Structure 1
Amino acid sequence: MADDEDSERYRAPALDKGLDILELLAGIDGGLTQAEIAKELGRSPNEFYRMLDRLVRRGYVTRLDSDRFSLTLKLFGLAQLHAPVRRLASYATPIMRELAMKTRQANQLVVFDRGAAVVIAQQEAPDYWGISVRVGSHIGLFNTGSGHVLLAFRSPDERAMMISEYERRMDDTVQPQDFDARLDTIRERGYEIMTSAQIAGVYNLSAPILAPDGRALAALTCPYITLVNAPNAPDIGQTTEILVKAAKALSELAGAKTH
């Protein structure tokens, strides 16, 4: 009885209402209308108008076809900032260092976070020359190898949600031609190789760090440049093989089965 009284005393009805909406939408594909949300939760539709408006404005919920509401990836993005991603970056450091030594190239680790692809770790090339991207940089989903890999190793629904989040936040919202087909090819091949859209002479080599369910937790990417004065450096094909092996090693640390 005392526990029930304490529970009632510390109730936060508005918070409960918001959490009820998030928990309901988390289990629904295609979203729900305001009336459907109210019916599922046994409340009046008017009770949810302001709450839905706030959730949309804060980026936790999005409108589909003007009258349906669906979860965004913001909660997923917040979870990415939690300990598992920090541990991933920590575990990745020695593997990324070894990758840089073997390939003579720089590399970086990228995750999707709240509508952007974000660099969470990077390793400099061991010699004088290399292309590195600053930790914390936001890079494109449509015009980088990292972005392509993060999208390719997701379900079609997750891809659509990530792209929707990205287009609301970033400026370069023009998708490449036949983009879905390209992502499917990347998934079948297991990695991306593409000319850089930012720097001439650079190739983006990118492979996924996979979760146990096969989804991409992160992308491990090498901005490959040809080293003219390093005759023993791996060529682009060899570098790709070394990169893919490093990504598989990180995937196994994350619990994925890669064989």
Structure 2
Amino acid sequence: MKVATKSKAQAAARYTTPALEKGLDILELFASTSEELTKREVARRLGRSVSEIFRMLVCLEQRGYLAQTPDEDRLRLTLKLFRLAQEHPPVRRLTEKALPVMHELAHHTNQSCHLGVLDSYEVIIVAQVDAPTSTGFYVKAGSHVDLMEAATGHVILSHQRPEMRRRAIDAWKHASNSPLPDDLDAHLQRIRRRGYEERPSYQVAGVTNVSYPILDAQGYAIAALTVPFLKRVHDATTVRDVRTHLEEAARQLSKEIGGL
């Protein structure tokens, strides 16, 4: 056992890539904050010197992953990573199939809608369609949402393979360093039995999130389609109307991608 452990440690040391690790550390730092950072702030947060990361920052800026602010003192993350994710074939195929369905859903309900997928310990909104009205509420495409504060995330978890669900929950616990909600298991079971989630928004008062899973051929969720329902004066649309149209849209999209 000691020999095996030593062999693994030697292999890890032999294949380390310091420059790549520094670049990934920088990208992950910018992805985790909405702030614009100076080179000195980046170095301090990563526990490195400015000279260690200077060339990497220049490279990331030249490749379009970072951009300077107008005063050229601070750096911010661009949308290049998001565009790359959108170009990934499975995501691109999903969004291409989803957008026509989502536009029809928005038209029938007078509400916005968004499509979210699970990425490790959080939900990423990969597509979004505005309500066809002058006012409304929406979650913008590209947003990262806390897994435990998203109806979309709970719907995906409840319709997920047990090992994938466990892995996502463990990753969330590690990243957030927070305890799980006491009723999480029972809550996910209720969603699974009911087939959808309907509950007040975790983040915005007056909004009710209604979410249905997009299922693959084995009946597991690869995404969830969600309407953040906002009741308008003089609009006869109800949550029940939203459920009806959203369920049909989710079934249609699941069928389009070869699912159940």
TM over 0.5: yes
Partner of residue 144, structure 1: 150
- Computed over aligned residues only, the root mean square deviation of the Cα atoms, in angstroms, reads 2.7
Q: Secondary structure at the match of 1:142?
A: helix
- Decide which of 219, 230, 234 is 1:214's aligned counterpart: 219
Q: Give the fraction of aligned pairs with identical amino acids, expressed as a percent.
A: 37
1:142–1:174 Cα contact (<8 Å) kept = no
1:116–1:169 Cα contact (<8 Å) kept = no
1:110–1:219 Cα contact (<8 Å) kept = yes
Deviates more, 1:197-206 or 1:128-137: 128-137
Letter in 1 for 2:259: A
Structure 1 Cα separation of the partners of residues 11 and 233 of structure 2: 60
Partner of residue 240, structure 1: 243
Structure 1 Cα separation of the partners of residues 12 and 160 of structure 2: 27
Partner of residue 224, structure 1: 229
* Cα displacement string for residues 93-118 of structure 1 (whole angstroms, at most 9, x for unaligned residues): 00000000001100000001233210
- Decide which of 192, 198, 203 is 1:198's aligned counterpart: 203
Deviation at 1:81, TM superposition (A): 7.0
Mark the runs of 5 or more structure 2 residues left unpaired by the alignment.
25-83
Deviation at 1:253, TM superposition (A): 1.2
2:210–2:227 Cα contact (<8 Å) kept = yes
Structure 1 Cα separation of the partners of residues 180 and 148 of structure 2: 6
Letter in 2 for 1:221: T
Q: Secondary structure at the match of 1:182?
A: helix
* Cα displacement string for residues 59-88 of structure 1 (whole angstroms, at most 9, x for unaligned residues): xxxxxxxxxxxxxxxxxxx99973011110
Partner of residue 189, structure 1: 194
Structure 1 Cα separation of the partners of residues 12 and 159 of structure 2: 31
2:97–2:257 Cα contact (<8 Å) kept = no
- Decide which of 158, 174, 179 is 1:168's aligned counterpart: 174
Structure 2 Cα separation of the partners of residues 170 and 88 of structure 1: 29
Letter in 2 for 1:49: A
1:195–1:203 Cα contact (<8 Å) kept = yes
Mark the runs of 5 or more structure 1 residues left unpaired by the alignment.
1-34, 59-77
- Number of residues paired by the alignment? 195
* Cα displacement string for residues 110-145 of structure 1 (whole angstroms, at most 9, x for unaligned residues): 001233210000000000222111111111211221
Scaled by the length of structure 1, the TM-score of the pair is: 0.68
- Decide which of 74, 90, 93 is 1:87's aligned counterpart: 93
2:106–2:131 Cα contact (<8 Å) kept = yes
- Say if 2:254 is the partner of 1:251: yes
Post-superposition, which runs of at least 4 consecutive aligned residues in structure 1 deviate over 4 A?
50-54, 78-81
Deviation at 1:156, TM superposition (A): 2.5
Partner of residue 29, structure 2: none
Partner of residue 11, structure 1: none
Scaled by the length of structure 2, the TM-score of the pair is: 0.68
Deviation at 1:174, TM superposition (A): 4.2
Letter in 1 for 2:142: G
Alignment of 1:62-81 (within 5 A): none
Deviation at 1:170, TM superposition (A): 4.2
Q: Secondary structure at the match of 1:217?
A: strand
Q: Secondary structure at the match of 2:118?
A: strand
